[in-house]
Structure 1
Amino acid sequence: MLNLSVANAIDRKSQGSLQSKLREKISEAIAKGDYEQGQTLPSTRIMAEQLKISRNTVTLVYEELAAEGVLISEHRRGFYVAPDAIARLPQSRPVEQVSPSVDWDSKLVINPAAMEHITHPQDWRSKKYTFMYGQHDRWIFPISSWRKCSRDSLSLHDMYDWTVDYVDEDDPVLLDAFRRRVLPRRGFTAHTQEVLVTVGAQHALFLAIQCLIRPGMVVGIEDPSYPDVRNLMIFHGAVLKPLPVDEDGLIIGDALVGCDILYVTPSHQSPTTVTLSHSRRRELLQMAKDHDFIIIEDDYDTESRFGRFPSSALKSIDTDGRVVYVTSLSKLLSPGLRVGFLVGPLPFIRQARALRRMSIRHPAANNQRTVALFLKGGYYESLLKRFHEEYELRWHTLQQALRQYIPLAEVASSEGGSSVWLRFPEEINTRELSQRAYQRDVYIQPGESYFLQSANKLTSRPTHYMRIGFSSIKVEDIADGIAIVGDVVDEMLAESAPQHNHAIG
């Protein structure tokens, strides 16, 4: 008899719903013979009481298995195992190990896996103090509102809309909601044919780069910058020109002359979080006009300006049609939802749309409709308010902890964001700092990977910068985590002091 005790049957911490877990356990028990052919299962009431779950959940599982012929339901007898139940269960066969006869390395014509990417330890989630950038706090996510929008998208009226194949078009309800609810906050609007829905900002950047960059073109890119977009440009044969950044954002000067394309993150520079000043924005657009280059604006982390309306996008003052605009709702909603938008002149969007069609046709229509209902229902604005309140508290808590425990670290000036950028004394190697902190239950990210490696690799990249994310850590854990990092910094400085004194002597 199967032991369906609470302790042994269902692992409530593992992924998946209780319904799917119970179904898996019953199927597994039948396959192993713990439930024999013709044997009656416990009643839905008894099973629910034993597992401390809803009786409806048990009923749904029994009925699903009965519909598939694994169980049989009879009045008064209840549910029992069908004679051919095992044959009706999904069968798995061991995979035979074969020696490949193909030299795949010689067949592949690309090698993006060899490029430098930011990687994280597999067990980083196990750390108590996780200063991980790019992850959201699940407790902020509006689950009830999202569920309502998901249910509403399954109404017959909405399903008749999104179950058709849009081919290369997008959900008109989402396009309208994006134009009315999101773009005005960025200071501009656009025609629906000038907007393309993408699977996150990364997808939008991929389409833009494929449309605009050919091998040998000179692309100006902030340094430090977003590693993945840098890889995309290198992959497409671009010649990268690193451009310095200061407390007012990208430095506008003669270095921009000769660029064919410029990639910029004006709202919150990635990764320093500084904001491009208004005067520099106008200078940048004038230089783009004078020297005939196109600007890709990645409106990264734009809504994270605490207590203030977000600064207008660079696109909002573009009167010459030179800015291709990329944005995403993933940072605010959830990184896993992958909802992005590409906005640009009609000729550009027409080609990006055709390119998207050749790969994915269009993002999933049911997801588009759910996001549309979320925007139209006003849940986006409500989430923004909660988001600002929570992140502003964490930002101030982090700033105070840094001043108290790591006073020698220079913090880049910012007006928000979901991370901070630190500059340590040069004798502090942040990769080593990260490794030591990791042994003390703290996960932090070194900043070396954000800097562009020189083409001849003769010039080493800075190793004394660090990015501290605060989007997924509890506010009450911030100070304790930073205190641990401060202890490690003090230890490293103490260890380097004798060597420094010896070198002077």
Structure 2
Amino acid sequence: MAIPPEAFFLHGNLNGTLQQRIRQLVAEGIVAGRFRACDKMPSSRGLAAQLGVSRITVTLAYTDLVASDYLTSKGRSGYFVSASAPLQPEFEVGPRALAVQVDYAQRTGQRFSGAEMLRRPADWASFRYPFIYGQADASLFDHQNWRQCAVRALGKRDFEALTSDYYDRDDPLLIEYILRNILPRRGIEATGAEVLLTMGAQNALWLAGQVLTRPGVRAAVENPGYPSLRGILAQTGAAVDWVDVDEGGLPPDAIPAGVNVVFTSASHHCPTNATMPMARRRALIEAASARDFVIVEDDYEFEMSFLKAVSPALKSLDREGRVVHVGSFSKSIFPGLRLGYIVAPEGFIREARALRALTLRHPPGHIQRTAAYFLSLGHYDALVNRMKQAFKRRRLAMGEAMEAAGLQVAGQGGVGGSSFWMVAPEGVDTEALARGLHAQGVLIEPGRVFFDPARAPRNYYRLAYSTIPVGRIAEGVGLIAAGIARADRCKPVRPV
């Protein structure tokens, strides 16, 4: 049977080049069973005329489909659907359930969906003033060299790294680079048995929470602090103590007695950006030894230190194996990479590695190998340096705009970072403020979710500058200031 050219139409939900879209049209038709084995395809000239493309484009698509065994070529007779082309199973799809009869809210207890998280619009990049944290700036990213590293990682020479199940192991090239280059910058010396790769810092913190806490264990966390850590610890049954931070981060003297694990971000505190002084870091290590607790150090934004020299990590001061160090490439390369690491004594790594193997085995091999090439060839350091220079310019523009607009900074850190921690006048609800600014193309991050829920103020917010161009900063800050002024005028008056 001959398939007529009119059976094909380049509709809008196809992506890629014209050649790729034609290939997709044909492949989907064959797999779905619309085009059957030995059916004759339209001539390249006829299909090109139907789709409004060049004949060579159709010919190249047909050639690619022959190589993939979707089509066969029979000389002057043309192209036919291959007798061994992939097909869907031949059975009918059952009717979709009209009413679910299981109460999953009751069965699950909503243990996971109930946790509060930072949220931002999926279309954040379309906003003119996106003062949001943690997203990549396409204008700064090294697309060409990342693509070259990815192509190399996908090549035949790296076939084993690409396709193998590592079970509980990691890519030795990436581990070697971390040991020889990433950790020494933080003052850390480790062996391969003391490093575990993770799916970003979030996964690393989850592993640390699962391994170190359980019912009966007390964990101290920073207030304000990383919101997702609260959800992580809620799943373990640990008792949580919220410790208020100050301009130097977590005060060791404020950690309650009886705590077993302390979670802290010493390099750049989340969200205030405070950098813990060296004297306080030593005091925290001494307290851990004297009071027998373990420290989980989230190496948050270490690479984004561009105003002052960086301080060595808490882990570098550790002489008793009390610090579990968590690092990530998600902020310094791009968030979607989801690649991080844990540095800790072998006893901890052994347990975390076994838990990781039960849940996700290991991060994808081709991602590990691509990152290893990107780091080892020097592209990573060049990218970080470019980001530092851009962030420094944006930070300066932010500071000048906020001072001119009269906005109040609550925490900005002393060594860099990519955001400011802000406070609005008392009584201004920044969640309502964010909703109002959203309609004006401005995105901010309300601060309530960072605090202890039992005593969370509603007038804090975070302004990040990782994705907004310098030329839009002043105008965006002006809109925020105007929104705060309106909210301040309209807030309810407290009775005397």
Q: Counterpart of 2:255 in 1: which secondary structure? A: helix
Q: Counterpart of 1:114 in 2: which secondary structure? A: coil
What is the aligned partner in structure 1 of residue 128 from structure 2?
A: 128
Q: Counterpart of 1:263 in 2: which secondary structure? A: strand
What is the aligned partner in structure 1 of residue 152 from structure 2?
A: 152
Give the Cα–Cα distance (whole angstroms) in 1 for the partners of residues 323 and 307 of structure 2. 28
Shift of 1:247: 1.3
The 1:9/1:258 distance shift into structure 2, 3 A limit, reads: same
Gaps in structure 2 of 5+ consecutive residues: none
What is the aligned partner in structure 1 of residue 468 from structure 2?
A: 473
Give the Cα–Cα distance (whole angstroms) in 2 for the partners of residues 41 and 325 of structure 1. 62
Deviation string, structure 1 residues 2-30 (Cα, Å, up to 9, x no partner): 5999xx6567xx86666544433455688
Shift of 1:426: 0.7
The answer to whether structure 1 residue 273 and structure 2 residue 273 are counterparts is: yes
What is the aligned partner in structure 1 of residue 42 from structure 2?
A: 40
Worse-superposed segment, 99-108 or 239-248: 99-108
The answer to whether structure 1 residue 354 and structure 2 residue 360 are counterparts is: no
Give the Cα–Cα distance (whole angstroms) in 1 for the partners of residues 298 and 382 of structure 2. 24
Deviation string, structure 1 residues 168-212 (Cα, Å, up to 9, x no partner): 111111110111121111111210110001111111111111111
Give the Cα–Cα distance (whole angstroms) in 2 for the partners of residues 392 and 430 of structure 1. 26
**Retained in 2: the 8 A contact 1:181–1:375?**
no
Q: Counterpart of 1:283 in 2: which secondary structure? A: helix
The 1:87/1:355 distance shift into structure 2, 3 A limit, reads: closer
Give the Cα–Cα distance (whole angstroms) in 1 for the partners of residues 183 and 138 of structure 2. 26
Q: Percent identity?
A: 35
Q: Counterpart of 2:219 in 1: which secondary structure? A: strand
What is the aligned partner in structure 1 of residue 449 from structure 2?
A: 449
What is the aligned partner in structure 2 of residue 388 from structure 1?
A: 388
- After TM superposition, the score normalised by the length of structure 2 is 0.88
Worse-superposed segment, 397-406 or 37-46: 37-46
The 1:406/1:317 distance shift into structure 2, 3 A limit, reads: same
The one-letter amino acid paired with 2:403 is R
Shift of 1:307: 5.1
Give the Cα–Cα distance (whole angstroms) in 1 for the partners of residues 354 and 114 of structure 2. 29
The one-letter amino acid paired with 2:364 is A
Worse-superposed segment, 107-116 or 139-148: 107-116
Shift of 1:121: 3.5
Give the Cα–Cα distance (whole angstroms) in 2 for the partners of residues 243 and 117 of structure 1. 20
The 1:101/1:464 distance shift into structure 2, 3 A limit, reads: closer
**Retained in 2: the 8 A contact 1:10–1:22?**
no
What is the aligned partner in structure 2 of residue 488 from structure 1?
A: 483
What is the aligned partner in structure 2 of residue 174 from structure 1?
A: 174
**Retained in 1: the 8 A contact 2:201–2:328?**
yes
The 1:388/1:109 distance shift into structure 2, 3 A limit, reads: same
Give the Cα–Cα distance (whole angstroms) in 2 for the partners of residues 486 and 2 of structure 1. 58
Deviation string, structure 1 residues 106-154 (Cα, Å, up to 9, x no partner): 4436621122222233443432211121211123221211121112223
The 1:109/1:395 distance shift into structure 2, 3 A limit, reads: same
**Retained in 2: the 8 A contact 1:70–1:89?**
no
**Retained in 1: the 8 A contact 2:398–2:474?**
yes
The 1:304/1:90 distance shift into structure 2, 3 A limit, reads: farther
Shift of 1:223: 0.3
What is the aligned partner in structure 1 of residue 236 from structure 2?
A: 236
Shift of 1:84: 8.2
The 1:127/1:93 distance shift into structure 2, 3 A limit, reads: farther
Give the Cα–Cα distance (whole angstroms) in 1 for the partners of residues 86 and 485 of structure 2. 65
Deviation string, structure 1 residues 318-358 (Cα, Å, up to 9, x no partner): 12211000000011111111111011011111111111122
Give the Cα–Cα distance (whole angstroms) in 1 for the partners of residues 284 and 18 of structure 2. 55
Give the Cα–Cα distance (whole angstroms) in 1 for the partners of residues 257 and 467 of structure 2. 40
Give the Cα–Cα distance (whole angstroms) in 1 for the partners of residues 117 and 371 of structure 2. 30
**Retained in 2: the 8 A contact 1:297–1:314?**
yes
Worse-superposed segment, 302-311 or 407-416: 407-416
Worse-superposed segment, 375-384 or 16-25: 16-25
The one-letter amino acid paired with 1:207 is L
The 1:341/1:64 distance shift into structure 2, 3 A limit, reads: same
How many correspondences in the alignment?
489
What is the aligned partner in structure 2 of residue 425 from structure 1?
A: 425
Give the Cα–Cα distance (whole angstroms) in 2 for the partners of residues 44 and 304 of structure 1. 57
Give the Cα–Cα distance (whole angstroms) in 1 for the partners of residues 301 and 92 of structure 2. 47
The one-letter amino acid paired with 2:476 is G
The answer to whether structure 1 residue 332 and structure 2 residue 332 are counterparts is: yes
Q: Counterpart of 2:341 in 1: which secondary structure? A: strand
Shift of 1:100: 3.7
Deviation string, structure 1 residues 351-404 (Cα, Å, up to 9, x no partner): 111111222222222221111111111111111111111111122122222112
The 1:29/1:232 distance shift into structure 2, 3 A limit, reads: closer
The one-letter amino acid paired with 2:428 is I
Give the Cα–Cα distance (whole angstroms) in 2 for the partners of residues 3 and 484 of structure 1. 53
**Retained in 1: the 8 A contact 2:409–2:420?**
no
The answer to whether structure 1 residue 341 and structure 2 residue 341 are counterparts is: yes
The 1:254/1:121 distance shift into structure 2, 3 A limit, reads: closer
**Retained in 2: the 8 A contact 1:264–1:296?**
yes
What is the aligned partner in structure 1 of residue 95 from structure 2?
A: 96
The 1:168/1:316 distance shift into structure 2, 3 A limit, reads: same
Give the Cα–Cα distance (whole angstroms) in 2 for the partners of residues 468 and 168 of structure 1. 39
Q: Counterpart of 2:368 in 1: which secondary structure? A: helix
**Retained in 2: the 8 A contact 1:41–1:81?**
no
The 1:41/1:416 distance shift into structure 2, 3 A limit, reads: farther
What is the aligned partner in structure 2 of residue 251 from structure 1?
A: 251
Deviation string, structure 1 residues 261-284 (Cα, Å, up to 9, x no partner): 000000000111111111110111
The one-letter amino acid paired with 1:73 is S
Q: Counterpart of 1:113 in 2: which secondary structure? A: coil
**Retained in 2: the 8 A contact 1:411–1:420?**
yes
The one-letter amino acid paired with 1:468 is L
**Retained in 2: the 8 A contact 1:48–1:58?**
no
Give the Cα–Cα distance (whole angstroms) in 2 for the partners of residues 160 and 437 of structure 1. 50
**Retained in 2: the 8 A contact 1:328–1:340?**
yes
Give the Cα–Cα distance (whole angstroms) in 1 for the partners of residues 486 and 45 of structure 2. 63
What is the aligned partner in structure 1 of residue 416 from structure 2?
A: 416
Give the Cα–Cα distance (whole angstroms) in 2 for the partners of residues 169 and 269 of structure 1. 31
**Retained in 1: the 8 A contact 2:219–2:241?**
yes
Shift of 1:64: 3.6
